[in-house]
Amino acid sequence: MTKRYVLIDDADTDTTAVDLESGPAYVPQSTPVVPSSSGSSGFFTASAILLTYGPHILYDALSVATLTLTGLLPSTSPFRCKVTVSAILGHTDVIGRVTVGTENLDFLVAGSKVTTINLTVLPTITTSNLDCNIRIEAIDSGGAPIQDETQIAFFCDWDESTTYYPNSAGTFSRSDSNCETNEMTAKIGDKVLFNLKTYTLKNIKDGETTLGGTVLTRILQFG
């Protein structure tokens, strides 16, 4: 059934307003709500997964006598540890020792040192004479960072049509896949998993925006 509205001028002193004479209740439109990047589907019809990567952190906090590790055992085994001491507000004493298992690392200035002993279990880590921030990062036996993968699901409209984006050479590069989404944390170089295929994000441009310039959606273009 079609709903019909009849508009008439107000009879009061406000000649600029209109009222409904008949029909369903009228709800005025408000300022558009910015979609949430944490999972609001809105008008999107597909879902994908943003893959982000970062170092495997075992500890990143103030020094104490014995560190309570917050990171899990790395999937890469054996592994070693990269230890970084740094001054922060109110905690600036970086001269001291960090002991990883049976290996001592002595610091005279802020900086990083790596252990030489290969580990297969999480070690006991103690400190002495330090009052600063300590960051313990797991690295592989060859010294390369061990990367953790984080998966963030998001909604989108996926499009396999060809588009182009400007590149650093001053020309244009071709993209055969792109999507529009309200996911706002993705960065160029990130990976996106869609329909069991992994895509590399090559360019980002604004999609829908409000009259005030607030970006509501973005177009992600993949190489």
Which segment, 8-22, 59-73, 168-182, 198-212, is predicted with the most confidence on average? 59-73
pLDDT band, residue 22 (cuts 50/70/90) = very low
Sign of CA dihedral 175, 178, 180, 185: negative
Average pLDDT over residues 92-117: 98
Q: What pLDDT score does 21 carry?
A: 46
Each residue's pLDDT tens digit, 110-151: 999 999 999 999 999 999 999 999 999 999 999 999 999 999
Please state the pTM of the whole predicted model: 0.65
Q: What pLDDT score does 42 carry?
A: 62
State the chain's mean pLDDT as an integer: 85
Q: What pLDDT score does 174 carry?
A: 93
Task: Tell whether the model's pLDDT for residue 14 goes beyond 60.
Answer: no
What residue ranges define each of the domains in the chain, with the CATH number in brackets?
46-53+149-222 (no CATH), 57-145 (2.60.120)
Yes or no: say if 221 and 186 are a contact pair by the CB < 8 Å rule: no
Query: How far apart, in whole angstroms, are the C-alpha atoms of residue 75 and residue 2?
Result: 61
Q: What pLDDT score does 41 carry?
A: 58
Each residue's pLDDT tens digit, 26-58: 344 333 333 334 445 567 889 999 998 899 999
